[in-house]
Amino acid sequence: MESTSAPEKACFILNPKSGVRSTVSVPDLISNHLDTSRWKPEILLTERAGHATELAQKAAANGARLVVAVGGDGTVNEVARGLKGTSSALGILPKGSGNGLARHLGIPLALPQALALLNQASFHYIDSCTINDHPFFCTAGIGFDGLVSSVFAQSTKRGLSSYVQLVVREFRSFKSEEATVRINGRELTSDFFVVAFANASQYGNNAYIAPMANIQDGLMDVCLIRHVGVAEAIQLGYGLMTKQIAHSSLAEFHTCATVSVQSKEPQYFHADGEFMGQAKEFEVKMFPKSLEVVAALAPKS
Ligand SMILES: Nc1ncnc2c1ncn2[C@@H]1O[C@H](COP(=O)(O)OP(=O)(O)OP(=O)(O)O)[C@@H](O)[C@H]1O
């Protein structure tokens, strides 16, 4: 059904380097599938890392009601961080290899259908978090997944199979470090393989690190995995891909609004899969209902 009011501005921010579907012509898809009686589109291309945040801030300042990240979770993160505290909503055209936030939000991976969802313009508020002041919207983590993000950042290969190969290679040499997690008034000290912070339920590619995570409840799900051997790591991998990790004795879950971690040695960490550096101290905070998105979420989920 066509809208009767004037079309509102929708700015599409496209990362030409993202994902494995680079042959797709996004401008053609937009002109073929976007309802121009609802949205007046503008398409901008990113030129470097971090550029999407600047473009999103400018689009919001110029009155775009909708700012659409066209890329993977890295691009989504950059656009979303530019929109926090503005009156522009985030849309996603998933073009990455993992698309964790898009999947959690029920956004179709097929781009014509994702554009159809933008036409419906169903707005929802979602939570966001920070790890050492770096915003994230999907997941962040310390330990093995931090290491993987750092190695993946240097790799030119994308896609699930390259990712799995890299995980297997890095696992052989990874050493869990002792850390203390302070959560809900408790102190938990161990050699942690992974400490994961989940605003959304999955890393991407339907790898569910916190299947119960609710992105609108004002709480993050923290998944603690202590030092593991090869057989246990395989069990965990299976649990991730089958949504069964919550039933594994290898993973411990907590929900909270803030959590801190102190590590003896510097640890790699990531926010939304992007490598953020190394640190010994981590503060992770929750910002309830801090970002408006177009999504296919149930009204009260
Ligand atoms: N024009 C550009 N040239 C090089 N890098 C860019 C450019 N624009 C954005 N980037 C960077 O590309 C990185 C990867 O983007 P993104 O996560 O969207 O794609 P991806 O890694 O292919 O997808 P996924 O995260 O799903 O694997 C981001 O960190 C972003 O900063």
* pLDDT of res. 192: 96
Do residues 155 and 167 make contact, with C-beta atoms less than 8 angstroms apart?
no
Percent of residues, the chain, with pLDDT higher than 90 = 82
* Ligand 1: centre distance to CA 229 (Å): 32
**Residue ranges matching CATH 2.60.200.40 in the chain:** 134-288
In CATH, the number for domain 134-288 is 2.60.200.40
Whether residue 100 has its Cβ less than 6 Å from ligand 1: no
Average pLDDT over residues 17-29: 80
Average pLDDT over residues 277-290: 97
Tell me which residue of 114, 138, 117, 118 sits closest to 127, measured CA to CA: 138
What is this model's ipTM?
A: 0.96
Distance of CA 86 to the CA centre of its chain: 20
**Those residues with Cβ within 8 angstroms of residue 276's Cβ, 6 or more apart along the chain or in another chain:** 131, 132, 134, 146, 149, 269, 270
Do residues 115 and 34 make contact, with C-beta atoms less than 8 angstroms apart?
yes
DSSP string for residues in 198-243? ESSSBSSTT-BS-TT--TTSS-EEEEEEE---HHHHHHHHHHHHTT
Asked if pLDDT for residue 299 goes beyond 50, the answer is yes
For ligand 1, atom 7, name the residue with the nearest CA. Answer: 48
Average pLDDT over residues 27-40: 97
In CATH, the number for domain 8-121 is 3.40.50.10330
Q: Which helix (H) or strand (E) holds 281?
A: strand 274-294
Tell me which residue of 18, 136, 10 sits closest to 84, measured CA to CA: 136
**Residue ranges matching CATH 3.40.50.10330 in the chain:** 8-121
Average pLDDT over residues 192-212: 96
Confidence bin at 301 (pLDDT 50/70/90): very low
